[in-house]
Amino acid sequence: MSETENLAPAEFTACVRFDEKGLVPAIIQDAAAHDVLMLGYMNAESLRITLESGKVTFWSRSRQTLWTKGESSGNFLLVRALYADCDRDAILVMAEPCGPTCHTGKRSCFSWKLEEEAC
């Protein structure tokens, strides 16, 4: 990525604009293949844990708890870089997947594609 501003972890966390529920969407992209792997949500604590551990950690909106991707399957997402968008209300996590990302066993959670004729 070009035209980036490098920030220390504390500065990065401080610049993120969490929504009214204290969450920010986090897009996970394969650092090598550049495929989008999944979308999750982070709160300030999960972002802090992600930065400290190097493993992507989310806030589960349905279970109302923290969860580190791969904690039960072993399919961790290892952080290679983090970016905030221009409005600072979304995060892009460049990660190295340690196995399939989707709970269905697929490499990516984005496996449903609109027919090309419909585009």
Identify whether 14 is part of a domain.
no
Identify whether 87 is part of a domain.
yes
User: Which stretch of 4-13, 34-43, 69-78, 84-93 has the lowest confidence by average pLDDT?
Assistant: 4-13
Domain that holds residue 92: 34-101
Identify whether 16 is part of a domain.
no
Element (H, E) at 81: strand 77-84
Residues 27-56: tens digit of each pLDDT: 999 999 999 999 999 999 999 999 999 999
pLDDT of 110 > 70? The answer is yes
Indicate if the alpha-carbon torsion angle 80, 67, 83, 106 is positive or negative.
positive
Identify whether 75 is part of a domain.
yes
Question: pLDDT class for 97, splitting at 50, 70, 90?
Answer: very high
Identify whether 61 is part of a domain.
yes
Identify whether 109 is part of a domain.
no
Give the CATH number of the domain where residue 68 resides: 3.10.20.810
Domains in the chain, number:
1
pLDDT of residue 93: 99
